[in-house]
Amino acid sequence: MRVSSKVECGIIALVDIAVNSKNNNIVKLNAVSKRNNISAKYLEQIIPLLKHAEFLKSVKGSGGGYVLARDPADITINEIVNALDSSILAPSEFNDQLEQTAIETISECLWKPVNDFLQKFSQNLTLKELADRFTEKQTASLEPMYYI
């Protein structure tokens, strides 16, 4: 499975905003860009898609930026992926020149079960779970290491 950089960067941006907007903090696009080493210009192309899908709200003014529009526990990865690139979790399409029985067999035995699993998995994984896991890993990496 090949995930586009737009989807990956969109998920990273949402996780970053979820983690850094706690306590009603407003997150600036440039801060997301620097923390995650993603081009700010590239994020400027992705953020409108996330706003249109109602994951983000923008805050205007000199202290402006972005906050989540919904609780991260209510945002599934499936929703995010579909908002950024609906073809990733869509059923596979085959070349019409291939033998139809082979296409049907491969689709039935391989692609449909794989797609069904990905759909179910991504519908059950929330932005909150990703943000919590990120915070755990970040906290663990900051703990001092004691050597004997």
CATH of the domain at 32: 1.10.10.10
Q: Which residue, among 115, 126, 123, 120, has the nearest Cα to 90 in the 3D structure? A: 115
Token output for 119: 């759909």
Q: Which residue, among 124, 70, 88, has the nearest Cα to 7 in the 3D structure? A: 88
Position 81 pLDDT exceeds 60: yes
Query: Which helix H or strand E contains 57, and what residues bound it?
Result: strand 56-59
Position 93 pLDDT exceeds 80: no
CA atoms in the 13 A half-sphere facing the CB of 108: 6
Q: Is residue 63 included in any domain, yes or no?
A: yes
> Binning pLDDT at 50, 70 and 90, where does residue 91 land?
low
Mean of pLDDT values over 87-101: 67
Choice among 14-28, 44-58, 95-109 with the minimum mean pLDDT = 95-109
Mean pLDDT of all residues belonging to the chain: 88
Q: Is residue 147 included in any domain, yes or no?
A: no
Find the angle CA(28)-CA(5)-CA(137) to the nearest 5 degrees. Answer: 65
Which range of residues forms the domain containing residue 119? 5-142
Number of domains observed in the structure of the chain: 1
Q: Is residue 21 included in any domain, yes or no?
A: yes
**Greater model confidence, 114 or 31:** 31
Phi-psi region of 80 (alpha: psi -120 to 50; beta: other; left: phi over 0): alpha
**SS3 state at 116:** helix
Q: Is residue 133 included in any domain, yes or no?
A: yes
Position 51 pLDDT exceeds 80: yes
pLDDT above 70 as % of the chain: 88
Position 94 pLDDT exceeds 60: no
